[in-house]
Copies of this chain bind each other. A is one copy, B any other.
């Protein structure tokens, strides 16, 4: 069994429609590559109670919880406080985190003021996640990995973090583009899927230039089984494939 994971995205700006999240999709692709199964995603607003509850539920239900957003210097950045409360750990300025910030701001000639120092508050027992973009670190505490919301920083933190997590078997997938309506594909596909309980069969319809079709995706850990099922699928729809 692969390790399981959830992602929690924190931010009013996503729920209000102002910003379109991209971190979920990025993380989903990275986790698939290393064999960690992303099982749930949630987006909650910048409100303490909502974050605390989601952190508790998701960290208890999965091997890993990744969070995105709310670790900057402004008053609406409350993720570190919420994660510390959810896990019952004290939160305070940590010297190694402060030193990272001090060095970063010294280089830029910018004072490490009270607001910026908030970014050095780390829950007890956490391990820092390096931020090569803007210095202020993320952190892993228990099975919760707390990262920034700005996509460039989130992506850099994921790159810092993933090598120290134990992955599983990457899910392999093959897909077939079939130029028939899903209503034609459904019957034969269900019968085929019943022969391969170890694989997952998904059908994703599209409509293009007036023609109906579907991408059928077969996923599984065993490449030979995926390939065998795909060969049978292709034989069921020999003249309908395209591209």
Interface of A toward B, CB cutoff 8 Å: 12-22, 24-25, 28-32, 38-46, 50, 72-76, 110, 113-116, 118, 133-134, 150, 152, 171, 173, 181-187, 189-190, 193, 200-207, 214, 217, 219
Q: Which of B15, B75, B115, B205 makes the CB contact (< 8 A) with A183? A: B115
CB-CB under 8 A for A181 and B110, given A203-B72, A205-B72? yes
The reply to whether B46 and A40 form a contact with Cβ atoms under 8 Å apart is no
CB-CB under 8 A for A76 and B201, given A17-B25, A110-B183? yes
Q: Which of B42, B150, B182, B207 makes the CB contact (< 8 A) with A205? A: B150
A110 and B181 CA atoms in complex are apart in Å by: 10
The reply to whether B24 and A73 form a contact with Cβ atoms under 8 Å apart is no
The reply to whether A75 and B201 form a contact with Cβ atoms under 8 Å apart is yes
Chain B CB within 10 Å, residue with most, of A15, A115, A203: A15
CB-CB under 8 A for A173 and B18, given A73-B183, A113-B187? yes
Contacts of A22 in B (CB 8 A): 20
CB-CB under 8 A for A38 and B15, given A72-B182, A75-B190, A202-B76? yes
A20 and B155 CA atoms in complex are apart in Å by: 16
The reply to whether B50 and A40 form a contact with Cβ atoms under 8 Å apart is yes
For the complex of A and B, 7 pairs with smallest distance between CB atoms: A115-B186, A17-B28, A17-B29, A116-B183, A75-B190, A41-B43, A74-B203
